[in-house]
Structure 1
Amino acid sequence: MLLRLPVRSTPLDRQLYPFYSSPYFPNDTTRPHVFDIKWIRENPDAFDAGLKKRGLESAAGKLIEIDEARRSHLTALQDAQSRRNAASKEIGKAMAAKDQAAADKLKAEVADLKERIQTGEEKARELEMQLNEVLSAIPNLPLDDVPLGADENDNVEVRRWGEPPKFDFEPKQHFEVGESLGLMDFETAAKISGARFVVLKGALSRLERAIASFMIDLHTGENGYTEYNPPLLVKDAAAYGTGNLPKFAEDLFRTTEGFWLIPTAEVSLTNMVRDEIIPADQLPMRCTAWTPCFRSEAGSAGRDTRGMIRQHQFSKVELVSITTPEASLDEHERMTASAEKVLQRLELPYRTMLLCTGDVGFASRKTYDIEVWLPGQNAYREISSCSVCGDFQARRMNARYRAGDKDVRFVHTLNGSGLAVGRTMVAILENFQQADGTVIVPKELRPYMGGMERIEPAA
């Protein structure tokens, strides 16, 4: 699940240029451009149309202007290098002809050209960095079948599964259920760490572990994913590769040693192919991991302040696919079905939403949100986002595959929650709550709970 890009229409300079001074932007000018600048030059209207769908102003003209300056400078630099090479040869000829004056003049020219070339190479690096930084601040372009819209109110329901349960009592929200069981403690968590943390105890602590184990077993046993246990701390380049940096630095936690705590295992899993050329017969790669995740929730002040819906620390089972361009859209449907299967097995009602252009994430071309029914809120709430990113992340990571002997192309990347473990617990507590305050354990989870069928209040 990626962080959302706020929809806005502001002057281009204010949209893009603040990132020039970002300390988290990689300074390697040999890496590929985040967007294919050649394609932008040849298709400026199509590029701007994609930005317009996201509520952003045109950018092709400014990008082409920066690129023209870069290309013009590179041409002048190449001309200077060619002239230096030619002049160096002419020095030998002048010396052979015993024309010292001509040789001295040529030597002076070569020295001047050498200085100009050194200065020009530094300028070329600056122009290359400038272009890539501007490109790095631009979100991915949505696919044609993504509905136009400004925000979540314009998302389109694709399908719905299961019927919301009917209660003969007023259903409670999950934190009311958990606290009444004596197994969910927000006050102690606040004493230890502050707001947006929780301490789980006893059966609820085991339930979280059971949910994650069930999900991992399902994805590896039936859905064809390989389980990984990746690092939770990543470098700048890894967070940049998935699109979290530089734009969303404030949404992440950073250590004093310069590592970033992962907001999702997508960052670690996707970056396993960074700077790699993968043989085509090894694709698709399907990866899954159950990890803690950490988010500052910088833009969510006042939202979901009670309970486990939006916390600084939570656990999630992530799904990541690395595939070819031809297979990525089918893989997107497959990944979404894999996430939906978890809810079906747990008998939790849900609906699947196709996000509109104003709500789709920064790195995504197309996203399905799966929303589970929460009786205590009388609403559907997001429990998974499954996104296809095209080559957007692959370009940032320089991740490629070999399609033939000489044909090397960028891979396509996909990611999705399969599912958010804490939110799945929330859904179980609310959908399976009983009038006496107990909670029925879904049948699929009972083997992971030592045969427990019902969660009782703590003794």
Structure 2
Amino acid sequence: MHDIRAIRENPANFDAKLARRGLSPISPELLALDEARRAAIHAAETAQAAQNAASKQVGAAKAKGDDAEFERLRALVGEKKSEVAAMQAEAGDLDAKMRDLLLTIPNLPLDEVPDGADEDENVEVSRWGTPRSFDFAPKEHYELPAVGNAMDFETAAKLSGARFVVLKGGVARVHRALAQFMLDLHVDQHDLSENITPVLVRDSAMLGTGQLPKFSEDSYQTTNGWWLIPTAEVTLTNYAANEIFDASALPQRMCAHTNCFRSEAGSAGKDTSGMLRQHQFEKVEMVTICHPDEALAEHERMTKCAEAVLETLELPYRRVVLCTGDIGFGAQKTYDLEVWLPGQDTYREISSISTCGQFQARRMNGRFKPADGGKPDFVATLNGSGLAVGRCLIAVLENGQQEDGSVTLPAALHPYLGGKTRLVDGALV
């Protein structure tokens, strides 16, 4: 959420930054609400002061025995009380309207974020690894003989419908191994704290990270009101909700492996083959809560943590910086890591790493006490996939496929697979 004081001080700059996202000016509407809200608050405070003064005069009139004045002033206090209540209600209504509007406005992109209308104008920053040359036409993950019937979409459709999968046998174990490997790497080498969090959360948690109110159709809500998390970003970032950290306790770097749930409301007809885009999937998420001055350095650090997963698995990838038309609602700047998928002959997103500045913290009231003892300020928050487990499985299978139909698995996974090194017809050998 945005600071209305900053908008008040420089509305033209605020609208100019929103224009980079393709949005129309909104500061006039915000400032009109803000002016009316402040006027209503001032009027309520003035009426409250008059009520308080009249109340004191009631006591004085009673002490003097002036019954007529006492009755007149008591009636006046009653009138002022009703007037104050009406004015406070009006001020509260205007305050809620302004907050509701602020909650729908996305974060402002940093100056360094490239301008662009959509994903076609994202900018490649770097590449790692060389895509392997095949002596045969590489297949997509769901076509591989090595997978066999261990990636079962028919049973999943019978159980749940489209965009679900049942993993079996060796494929299921490779999937589990990938999640374990990612957690161990982040905890042992990247100094992230491992967490196990709920996957059901309250409205306030979804509001804090920005999924609500604008994007409710992209998530699932239970009949009793809880929301299924789209990512552990929601739970981990909300550790900061209504907290005041000591500056010495920052940064807090965390990770969690969870199931994630997305309705994919805005992606009808996209990636319907295989398990690239599912309603339920697993992810190892990274979140950092830090001092605002450290956010950009933490963004680079977190991106390198995600890249280390791909490099250790020997998966070619590229890093791109998202343009203003493609960054997410809560992001100031985002890097996407795109892994090479030979079956599609292209790079596909496997991780998004974003710095949100103080945007989420202001929504959830997450603050810290400055080391110099000044007034508490909002923390900065960052989040990123480290990585999406299912998409990593796809990349491992497609990049390791062999002409004989088997899949050679990365050396980093061998200790997690009982020393087995290949996948053949759905089984590890």
Residue 410 of structure 1: which of 378, 388, 405 is its match?
378
| Larger CA deviation: 86-95 vs 365-374 | 86-95
**Secondary structure at 1:189 match in 2:** helix
Correspondence for 2:350: 383
C-alpha contact (below 8 Å) 1:178/1:184 kept by paired residues: no
What is the CA–CA distance in structure 1 between the aligned matches of 2:160 and 2:146, rounded to whole Å?
Answer: 19
Q: Tell me the CA shift for residue 366 of structure 1.
A: 0.3
TM-score by length of 2: 0.97
Residue 181 of structure 2: which of 186, 203, 214 is its match?
214
Is it true that 1:242 corresponds to 2:209 in the alignment? yes
Residue 45 of structure 2: which of 78, 85, 88 is its match?
78
TM-score by length of 1: 0.91
**Secondary structure at 1:247 match in 2:** coil
Q: Percent identity?
A: 56
- Cα 1:458/1:423, change in 2 over 3 Å: closer
Q: Tell me the CA shift for residue 180 of structure 1.
A: 5.2
C-alpha contact (below 8 Å) 2:116/2:325 kept by paired residues: yes
What is the CA–CA distance in structure 1 between the aligned matches of 2:46 and 2:27, rounded to whole Å?
Answer: 28
C-alpha contact (below 8 Å) 1:360/1:366 kept by paired residues: yes
- Structure 1 residues without counterparts, runs of 5 or longer: 1-33
C-alpha contact (below 8 Å) 1:363/1:392 kept by paired residues: yes
What is the CA–CA distance in structure 2 between the aligned matches of 1:458 and 1:210, rounded to whole Å?
Answer: 15
Q: Deviations over 1:201-245 (max 9, x none)?
A: 111000001101110000000011000000010000001110001
Correspondence for 2:101: 134
**Secondary structure at 2:213 match in 1:** coil
Q: Deviations over 1:396-452 (max 9, x none)?
A: 110011114342110000000000000000011111101111000100001001111
C-alpha contact (below 8 Å) 2:147/2:426 kept by paired residues: no
What is the CA–CA distance in structure 1 between the aligned matches of 2:357 and 2:327, rounded to whole Å?
Answer: 14
- Cα 1:179/1:260, change in 2 over 3 Å: farther
Is it true that 1:230 corresponds to 2:197 in the alignment? yes
Correspondence for 2:280: 313
Q: Tell me the CA shift for residue 170 of structure 1.
A: 0.3
C-alpha contact (below 8 Å) 1:181/1:437 kept by paired residues: no
One-letter amino acid of the counterpart of residue 363, structure 1: G
Correspondence for 2:225: 258
Correspondence for 1:43: 10
Correspondence for 1:452: 420
What is the CA–CA distance in structure 2 between the aligned matches of 1:78 and 1:122, rounded to whole Å?
Answer: 12
C-alpha contact (below 8 Å) 2:145/2:405 kept by paired residues: no
Residue 294 of structure 2: which of 327, 330, 337 is its match?
327
Matches within 5 A, 1:105-144: 105-144=72-111
- Cα 1:312/1:387, change in 2 over 3 Å: same
One-letter amino acid of the counterpart of residue 447, structure 1: P
What is the CA–CA distance in structure 1 between the aligned matches of 2:104 and 2:85, rounded to whole Å?
Answer: 29
What is the CA–CA distance in structure 2 between the aligned matches of 1:179 and 1:101, rounded to whole Å?
Answer: 98
- Structure 2 residues without counterparts, runs of 5 or longer: none
What is the CA–CA distance in structure 1 between the aligned matches of 2:203 and 2:145, rounded to whole Å?
Answer: 38
One-letter amino acid of the counterpart of residue 293, structure 2: E
One-letter amino acid of the counterpart of residue 40, structure 1: I
**Secondary structure at 1:120 match in 2:** helix
C-alpha contact (below 8 Å) 2:7/2:27 kept by paired residues: yes
C-alpha contact (below 8 Å) 2:197/2:232 kept by paired residues: yes
Q: Tell me the CA shift for residue 273 of structure 1.
A: 1.6
| Larger CA deviation: 179-188 vs 213-222 | 179-188
Q: Deviations over 1:31-55 (max 9, x none)?
A: xxx3111110111011001110000
Q: Deviations over 1:166-185 (max 9, x none)?
A: 00000001111168522111
What is the CA–CA distance in structure 2 between the aligned matches of 1:343 and 1:232, rounded to whole Å?
Answer: 26
Aligned pairs, number = 426
C-alpha contact (below 8 Å) 2:163/2:278 kept by paired residues: yes
C-alpha contact (below 8 Å) 1:159/1:353 kept by paired residues: yes
What is the CA–CA distance in structure 2 between the aligned matches of 1:35 and 1:406, rounded to whole Å?
Answer: 21
One-letter amino acid of the counterpart of residue 307, structure 2: E
C-alpha contact (below 8 Å) 1:325/1:390 kept by paired residues: yes
One-letter amino acid of the counterpart of residue 338, structure 1: C
Matches within 5 A, 1:24-423: 34-177=1-144, 181-404=148-371, 405-423=373-391
What is the CA–CA distance in structure 2 between the aligned matches of 1:367 and 1:279, rounded to whole Å?
Answer: 27
One-letter amino acid of the counterpart of residue 278, structure 2: Q
What is the CA–CA distance in structure 2 between the aligned matches of 1:180 and 1:204, rounded to whole Å?
Answer: 7
Correspondence for 1:22: none
What is the CA–CA distance in structure 1 between the aligned matches of 2:362 and 2:146, rounded to whole Å?
Answer: 47
- Cα 1:141/1:131, change in 2 over 3 Å: same
C-alpha contact (below 8 Å) 1:196/1:305 kept by paired residues: yes
Q: Tell me the CA shift for residue 92 of structure 1.
A: 2.7
Q: What is the root-mean-square deviation in Å for CA atoms of aligned residues?
A: 1.1
